[in-house]
């Protein structure tokens, strides 16, 4: 509308200017044109009057003045000339007067025409400028229209709810996302109070809200629950801004709302995950430690139970983790139901904690009996009957400890003692356990110092052919150069296995043993046996380490034999079998150490490609005194021979043992009778002597 008004104004102004110039020219032309049109008749009229007067009066005057006829005739001639001259002059004067008027008129007309040309040029320039302005105005109007469309697009396509309302709380306008989210049409919302948006919030006051808005000019990031048309409740994050209408003094509020319902639900889930066990729904270790601290802060006496299933891994291995999880879920529900004054928490895996608000031993033992009976009952897992057992450790506050850390250490020691006693056992914490733990800590720190200082040393015990006592191989045995520690090898290996430090120890042994083979095994006369721990066998770094050292030292793999124990097979059979096959593929020999100490040994011989079987010392000790042990050893030797497996008797200490083993056709043996473990210098001398003896 404004554009058309502006164009109309310029057109009217130009029309007025044109009319003024045309009117001036018309006035100018009208005046001289009349004069010019009348001038010929006036000239003719004057000429006629003068002519008639001349004819009428000139002859008479001449007759009066010149009586002589001849002279009169002459004057008639002169009179004619005078007439011609006079009329010519008269015509000249009249014509000149007309020409002067015409010239003046033409001059003035030319000036006006020039003014008109100049004005026309100005009008053309103004028209061009006006056209440019119109085009610019059209462009601006188009841009404004696009911007308006853009703003409307943002307004209506925004994922933010926009509500415009006045200070009385009446809704004036809503965007499309409002209708999408809440389900109300715009017509249903406009004119209603903003209270219709809110869920029942007794703390919300519209009057106070408006007062805060007017005072501050805005309110940021406050949450409210809103009710949709369907009755669903959503959580909204709002930002309000007070604004003034551009075309009036009216004040209104623009509220911008974001639906954060999903975010709040996710936060709730995260909190639940942070404080609840995902499988059982029990409180997890985070809540357990918090509530333990709360009990201590209140100085509330309580008993702490540590539950751990015996050999639960077997259930997972046989049926799978899904069935194991299902059992733990059912078990936790059953335990939770029998607890009267206690709370059950899941620690991790198959481990649970119970806190019970009592320090009465009889009540605690009653709870233990309930737990044991509940556990030992017949459970059905995947149509299979399952009879689980648990080990229990118990400690009490404040008699056994006064901090969470102390209590957890105590109950862990009690559980360890329980498991050490066998399946389905229970132990209360005893202060004597602390001495044992202190020693374990001492051994663990000592192992760390040995590893850090590289204070290891390999000793070597020869393996002999029993009939002629020729050395056929060596077993590498670990020693350390820190005798002040007071730790025997058995304790060292046991603790290192528990802490995982044994993996680093085995890595050092492999490196040192491979170096020894490279430096001292110049032929295939001897082989070297290296013991591998259970932790190393299941470590992902074992095979890469062996391959790296094999390539670095360039030795023949068949000169090295790795010894594994039955213990490592029982705990991790599938993984250990996979590692053994990989070692066999690399060309190494495999020996089964301490054979005969486990009930499943024969089963292993049928499934694993062993090259050597080492009969445990416990059988060799009684091979000459106990008929049953002698029979077992004899059967082992015969079985190995039929399977094509070499047999080595461990711990041969007396000549009678050697003789008995020879009669049983046991080919190889090692023990103090032939040689104790000796250091590298001594074994090198022994090997040199053995080679010299062979040459002779």
Sign of CA dihedral 195, 199, 205, 209: negative
Average pLDDT, rounded, for the chain:
83
Q: Are residues 250 and 315 in the same domain?
A: no
* Per-residue pLDDT tens over the stretch 588-597: 999 998 776 6
CB 273, CB 376: distance < 8 Å: no
Q: Are residues 520 and 648 in the same domain?
A: yes
Q: Would you tell me the crossing angle of helices 285-297 and 404-420 to the nearest 10 degrees?
A: 120
Q: Are residues 547 and 399 in the same domain?
A: no
Q: Are residues 641 and 689 in the same domain?
A: yes
Q: How far is CA 44 from CA 34, 217, 660, in A?
A: 16, 97, 181
**CA separation for the pair 3, 18 (Å, rounded):** 23
Question: Lowest-confidence range among 27-36, 336-345, 630-639?
Answer: 27-36
| Nearest of 53, 117, 110 to residue 87 by alpha carbon | 53
Q: How far is CA 182 from CA 186, 242, 261, 263, 691, in A?
A: 10, 23, 13, 18, 95
Cis, peptide link before residue 313, omega less than 30° from 0:
no
Q: Are residues 150 and 205 in the same domain?
A: no
Residues 6+ apart with CB under 8 A from 165: 171, 172, 194, 252, 253, 255
Last residue of a domain, one of 104, 123, 155: 155
Q: Are residues 491 and 426 in the same domain?
A: no
Query: If you ran DSSP here, which 8-state letter would residue 193 be given?
Result: B
Is 640 contained in some domain? Answer: yes
Query: If you ran DSSP here, which 8-state letter would residue 678 be given?
Result: B
Q: Are residues 406 and 523 in the same domain?
A: no
pLDDT(426) > 60: yes
In terms of pLDDT, which residue wins out, 312 or 72?
312
Residue that is written with structure tokens 């100005």 in the block: 122
Assigned token pair, 556: 């023949």
Is 271 contained in some domain? Answer: no
Span 427-442, average pLDDT: 82
Is 486 contained in some domain? Answer: yes
Sign of CA dihedral 266, 267, 271, 274: positive
Q: How many domains are there within the chain? A: 4
| Nearest of 452, 386, 390 to residue 424 by alpha carbon | 390
Span 534-541, average pLDDT: 88
pLDDT(183) > 60: yes
Q: How far is CA 171 from the centre of its chain?
A: 41
Q: What are phi and psi of 254, to 5 degrees?
A: -110, 120
| Nearest of 548, 542, 559 to residue 476 by alpha carbon | 559
Q: Are residues 618 and 679 in the same domain?
A: yes
pLDDT of residue 126: 84
DSSP per position, 67-103: --HHHHHHHHHHHHHHHHHHHHHHHHHHHHHHHHHHH
Q: Are residues 140 and 170 in the same domain?
A: no
Classify residue 671 as left (phi > 0), alpha (psi -120 to 50) or beta.
left
CB 273, CB 279: distance < 8 Å: no
**CA separation for the pair 375, 312 (Å, rounded):** 12
Residues 6+ apart with CB under 8 A from 108: 28
pLDDT of residue 548: 94
CATH number at residue 539: 3.20.20.450
| H or E segment and range at residue 48 | helix 2-65
* Per-residue pLDDT tens over the stretch 228-275: 888 888 888 888 888 887 766 788 888 888 888 888 888 877 777 778
Give start and end residues of each alpha helix (H) in 299-431.
312-319, 321-338, 361-376, 404-420
CB 345, CB 353: distance < 8 Å: yes
Q: Are residues 471 and 344 in the same domain?
A: no
CB neighbourhood size of 89 (10 A) = 10
| H or E segment and range at residue 166 | strand 161-166
pLDDT(295) > 70: yes
pLDDT of residue 509: 94
Is 64 contained in some domain? Answer: yes
Last residue of a domain, one of 430, 459, 480: 430
Domain encompassing residue 24: 2-155
pLDDT of residue 164: 86
Classify residue 644 as left (phi > 0), alpha (psi -120 to 50) or beta.
left
Last residue of a domain, one of 204, 233, 263: 263
**CA separation for the pair 520, 607 (Å, rounded):** 34
Is 436 contained in some domain? Answer: no
Residue that is written with structure tokens 């056994």 in the block: 400
pLDDT(116) > 50: yes
Assigned token pair, 323: 């069935």
Assigned token pair, 695: 């040459």
pLDDT of residue 278: 84
CB 199, CB 244: distance < 8 Å: no
pLDDT of residue 675: 94
Assigned token pair, 271: 């909190």
CATH number at residue 228: 3.30.450.20
Is 268 contained in some domain? Answer: no
Residue that is written with structure tokens 């299941």 in the block: 538
| Nearest of 283, 284, 297, 273 to residue 404 by alpha carbon | 297
pLDDT of residue 6: 46
CATH number at residue 394: 3.30.70.270
Q: Are residues 453 and 601 in the same domain?
A: yes
| H or E segment and range at residue 456 | strand 456-465
* Per-residue pLDDT tens over the stretch 461-520: 999 999 999 999 999 999 887 666 667 777 788 888 878 889 999 999 999 999 999 999
| 294-298, 576-580, 595-599, 604-608 — most confident range | 294-298
Q: Are residues 620 and 533 in the same domain?
A: yes
Query: If you ran DSSP here, which 8-state letter would residue 339 be given?
Result: -
Give start and end residues of each alpha helix (H) in 521-565.
534-537, 542-553
**CA separation for the pair 452, 442 (Å, rounded):** 15
Using DSSP's 3-state secondary structure scheme, residue 426 falls into: strand
Is 510 contained in some domain? Answer: yes
Using DSSP's 3-state secondary structure scheme, residue 692 falls into: helix
Is 270 contained in some domain? Answer: no
DSSP per position, 125-163: HHHHHHHHHHHHHHHHHHHHHHHHHHHHHHHHH-SSEEE
| H or E segment and range at residue 474 | strand 470-480
């Amino acid at each position: 509308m404004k554009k058309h008004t502006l164009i109309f104004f310029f057109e009217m102004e130009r029309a007025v200017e044109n009319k003024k110039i045309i009117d001036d020219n018309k006035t100018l032309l009208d005046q001289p044109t009349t004069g010019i049109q009348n001038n010929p008749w006036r000239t003719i009229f004057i000429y006629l009057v003068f002519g008639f007067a001349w004819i009428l009066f000139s002859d008479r005057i001449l007759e009066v003045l010149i009586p002589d006829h001849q002279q009169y005739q002459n004057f008639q001639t002169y009179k004619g000339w005078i007439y011609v001259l006079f009329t010519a002059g008269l015509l000249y004067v009249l014509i000149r007067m007309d020409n002067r008027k015409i010239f003046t008129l033409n001059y003035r007309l030319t000036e006006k025409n020039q003014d008109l040309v100049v004005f026309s040029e100005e009008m053309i320039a103004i028209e061009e400028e006006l056209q440019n302005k119109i085009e610019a105005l059209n462009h601006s109007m188009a841009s404004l229209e696009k911007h308006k469309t853009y703003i409307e697009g943002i307004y209506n396509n925004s994922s933010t709810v926009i509500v415009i309302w006045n200070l009385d709380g009446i809704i004036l306008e809503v965007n499309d996302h409002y209708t999408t989210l809440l389900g109300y049409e715009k017509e249903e919302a406009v004119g209603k109070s903003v209270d219709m948006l809110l869920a029942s919030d007794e703390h919300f006051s519209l009057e106070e809200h408006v007062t805060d808005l007017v005072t501050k000019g805005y309110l940021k990031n406050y949450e409210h629950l809103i009710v949709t048309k369907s009755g669903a409740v959503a959580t909204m994050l709002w930002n309000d801004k007070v604004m003034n209408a551009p075309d009036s003094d009216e004040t209104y509020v623009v509220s911008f709302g974001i639906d954060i319902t999903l975010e709040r639900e996710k936060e709730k889930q995260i909190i639940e995950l942070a404080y609840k066990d995902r499988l059982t729904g029990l409180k997890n270790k985070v809540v357990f430690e918090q509530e333990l601290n709360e009990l201590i802060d209140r100085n509330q006496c309580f008993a702490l139970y540590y539950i751990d299933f015996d050999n639960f891994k077997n259930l997972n291995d046989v049926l799978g983790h899904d069935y194991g999880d299902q059992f733990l879920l059912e078990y936790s529900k059953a335990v939770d139901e029998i607890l009267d004054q206690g709370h059950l928490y899941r620690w991790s895996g198959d481990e649970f904690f119970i806190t019970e608000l009592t320090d009465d031993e009889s009540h605690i033992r009653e709870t233990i009996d309930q737990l044991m009976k509940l556990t030992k009952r017949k459970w059905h897992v995947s149509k299979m009957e399952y009879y689980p057992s648990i080990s229990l450790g118990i400690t009490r506050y404040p008699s056994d400890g006064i901090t969470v850390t102390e209590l957890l250490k105590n109950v862990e020691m009690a559980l360890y003692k329980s498991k050490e006693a066998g399946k389905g056992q229970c132990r209360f914490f005893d202060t004597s356990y602390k001495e044992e733990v202190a020693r374990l800590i001492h051994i663990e720190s000592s192992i760390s110092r040995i590893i850090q200082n590289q204070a290891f040393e390999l000793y070597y015990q020869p393996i002999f052919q029993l009939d002629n006592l020729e050395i056929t191989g060596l077993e590498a045995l670990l020693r350390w150069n820190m005798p002040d520690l007071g730790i025997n090898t058995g304790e060292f290996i046991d603790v290192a296995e528990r802490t995982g430090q044994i993996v680093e120890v085995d890595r050092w042994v492999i490196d040192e043993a491979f170096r020894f083979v490279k430096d001292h095994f110049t032929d295939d006369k001897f082989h070297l046996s290296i013991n591998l721990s259970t932790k190393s066998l299941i470590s992902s770094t074992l095979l890469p380490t062996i391959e790296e050292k094999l390539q670095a030292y360039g030795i023949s793999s068949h000169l090295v034999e790795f010894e594994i124990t039955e213990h490592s097979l029982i705990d991790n059979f599938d993984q250990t079998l996979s590692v053994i096959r990989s070692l066999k593929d690399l060309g190494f020999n495999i020996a089964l150490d301490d054979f005969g100490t486990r009930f499943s040994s024969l089963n292993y011989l049928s499934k694993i490609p062993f090259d050597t079987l080492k009969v445990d010392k416990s059988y060799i000790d009684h091979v000459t005194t106990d008929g049953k042990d002698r029979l077992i050893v004899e059967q082992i030797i015969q079985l190995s021979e039929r399977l094509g497996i070499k047999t080595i008797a461990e711990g041969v200490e007396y000549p009678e043992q050697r003789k008995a083993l020879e009669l049983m056709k046991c080919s190889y043996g090692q023990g103090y009778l032939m040689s104790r473990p000796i250091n590298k210098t001594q074994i090198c001398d022994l090997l040199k002597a053995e080679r010299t003896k062979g040459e002779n």
